[in-house]
């Protein structure tokens, strides 16, 4: 397994092979570059009681896709951390939300995207749905803006491609097709 030394306060991401098996870990601060190794992430879409979905605009300090509108939140599980626990952890950290039941809708989603600066995102990224009625308490280091929108409006944004993050643009049509399957991660 590949292991790296990390500075205090730096998060580790799980490096994986093409089959999704862990092959090591690396510091999050150094893993995203022009030759980003395949690693494990997740995305989550949070819905309210009215059926609207939360979109967030990534903070300008984010390493990848700063200032871009995206899904409700995303992140990386730590080595040994169950992915559902990681989803709940990031919901608390980024949005101040305590999530209950999670539904893994796209357990095998994988994408690769290249940012304008050449930074590559390369993830196996299970996609979750969650519901919340709690008021948001966003971390400004993570989220610079947010809004609740209809799924139809999100679908329209995804069809444009450029108006939201590349992973969200790929996920939305797949989520439309997969919502009846409800396979667990």
- Residue 131 annotated as lining a ligand binding site: no
- Residue 101 annotated as lining a ligand binding site: no
Residue of 74, 104, 125, 170 with catalytic role: 74
SS3 content of the chain, % helix, strand, coil (to 5): 20, 30, 45
What does DSSP assign to residue 71?
S
- Residue 3 annotated as lining a ligand binding site: no
- Residue 133 annotated as lining a ligand binding site: no
Distance separating alpha carbons of residues 141 and 159, to the nearest angstrom: 28
In terms of Cβ atoms closer than 10 Å to its own Cβ (0-12, 13-18, 19+), residue 22 is: middle
Pairing of strands 39-40, 42-47: unpaired
Distance separating alpha carbons of residues 95 and 90, to the nearest angstrom: 8
- Residue 134 annotated as lining a ligand binding site: no
Catalytic residue list contains 101: no
- Residue 76 annotated as lining a ligand binding site: yes
Residue of 44, 104, 123, 170 with catalytic role: 123
Catalytic residue list contains 123: yes
Q: Which residues are annotated as a binding site for Mn(2+)?
A: 32, 39, 76, 121, 123
Catalytic residue positions, numbered: 74, 123
* Binding region for Mg(2+): 94
What residues form the annotated binding site?
32, 39, 76, 94, 121, 123
């Amino acid at each position: 397994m590949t292991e790296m030394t990390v500075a205090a306060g730096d998060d580790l991401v799980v490096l994986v092979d093409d089959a999704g098996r862990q092959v090591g870990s690396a510091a999050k601060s150094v893993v995203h570059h022009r030759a980003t190794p395949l690693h494990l992430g997740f995305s989550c879409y949070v819905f309210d009681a009215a059926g609207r979905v939360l979109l967030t605009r990534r903070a300008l300090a984010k390493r990848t896709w700063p200032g871009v509108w995206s899904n409700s939140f995303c992140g990386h599980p730590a080595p040994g951390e169950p992915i559902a626990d990681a989803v709940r952890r990031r919901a608390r950290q980024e949005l101040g939300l305590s999530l209950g039941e999670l539904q893994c809708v796209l357990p095998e989603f994988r994408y690769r995207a290249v940012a304008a600066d050449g930074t590559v995102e390369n993830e196996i990224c299970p996609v979750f749905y969650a519901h919340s009625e709690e008021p948001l308490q966003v971390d400004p280091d993570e989220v610079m803006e947010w809004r609740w929108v209809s799924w139809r409006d999100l679908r329209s944004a995804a069809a444009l491609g450029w108006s939201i993050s590349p992973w969200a643009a790929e996920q939305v049509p797949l989520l439309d097709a997969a919502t009846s399957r409800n396979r667990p991660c």
